[in-house]
């Protein structure tokens, strides 16, 4: 196995973790990871060095955006989320972190998860999201503020329209 594939392989567990938190759905998460891997393998010839891991996060983030776009246009029957809720009791008196993440718009949620769950730097997140670092920081600030008010029991300022 070449170095390129080895780097991809070693990133798979982290990609699953990120996708799980993004989608909050085990099957949908693994679907996105699979599509990410397929695209990465197919685009092997387009990869000219650099950080494979950040590139994989970029693909996965783009695929998730496509998925959300498709879901938002689906007229009825959005899937029931939070199939991972069985793994632990809701924190903070019924208002759990998963639901708090669900309330966020896509960009702030993505930025927050890449930083706190995946441990990426602001610069890496800026490249993945294709925006300046200042924008990443304001997304991060928005995400944290909304989660805090959600967990504190206030009505969130913004609800994600599904």
Partner 1 sequence: MSDRDPIVSEDELHAYVDGELAAERRGAVEAWLATHPDDAARVAAWRSQAELIRARYGGAADEKLPRRLELARLARRRHWRVTATAAAAVLAAFIAGGAAGWFARDAEGAPSSDLRKFTADALDAYRLYVVEVRHPVEVAGDERPHLVQWLSKRVGSPVRIPELDKMGLKLVGGRLLPGPTGATAFFMYENGSGERFTLYCGQTDDRETALRYTTGDHNAAYYWVDHNMACVLSGPAERDKLHAIAQAAYDQIDTRSPQRGG
| Contact set with partner 1 (CB under 8 A) | 1, 5, 8-9, 12-14, 16-17, 20-21, 27-39, 41, 43, 46-48, 55, 58-59, 62-63, 65-67, 69-71, 73-75, 84, 87-88, 91, 96-98, 100-101, 112-113, 115-117, 121-122, 130, 137, 140-141, 144, 147-148, 151
> Given the complex with partner 1, which of 123 and 159 has the nearer CB atom?
123
> Given the complex with partner 1, which of 47 and 160 has the nearer CB atom?
47
Least separation in angstroms between residue 103's CB and partner 1 is 13
Least separation in angstroms between residue 96's CB and partner 1 is 8
> Given the complex with partner 1, which of 47 and 158 has the nearer CB atom?
47
Residues 6 or more apart from 15 whose CB is under 8 A from it? Answer: 33, 36, 56, 57, 60
Q: What is the 3-state secondary structure (H, E, C) of 49-92?
A: CCCHHHHHHHHHHHHHHHHHHHHHHCCCCCCCCCCCHHHCCCCC
> Given the complex with partner 1, which of 67 and 81 has the nearer CB atom?
67
Least separation in angstroms between residue 153's CB and partner 1 is 13
Least separation in angstroms between residue 78's CB and partner 1 is 11
Q: Where are the alpha helices (DSSP H) in the chain?
A: 3-23, 26-42, 52-73, 97-102, 106-112, 122-129, 133-151
Nearest to 107 by CA among 83, 131, 84, 123: 131
Q: How far apart are CA 136 and CA 141, in angstroms?
A: 9
């Amino acid at each position: 196995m070449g170095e390129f594939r080895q780097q991809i392989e070693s990133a798979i567990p982290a990609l699953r973790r990120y996708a799980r938190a993004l989608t909050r759905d085990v099957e949908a998460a693994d679907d996105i990871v699979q599509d990410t891997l397929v695209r990465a393998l197919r685009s092997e010839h387009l990869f000219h060095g650099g950080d494979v891991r950040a590139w994989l996060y970029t693909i996965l983030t783009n695929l998730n955006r496509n998925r959300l776009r498709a879901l938002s246009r689906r007229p009825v029957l959005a899937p029931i989320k939070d199939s991972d809720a069985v793994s632990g009791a809701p924190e903070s008196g019924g208002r759990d972190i998963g639901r708090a993440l669900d309330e966020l718009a896509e960009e702030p949620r993505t930025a927050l998860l890449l930083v706190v769950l995946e441990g990426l730097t602001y610069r890496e997140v800026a490249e993945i999201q294709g925006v300046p670092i200042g924008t990443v920081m304001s997304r991060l600030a928005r995400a944290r503020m909304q989660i805090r008010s959600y967990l504190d029991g206030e009505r969130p300022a913004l609800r994600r329209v599904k």
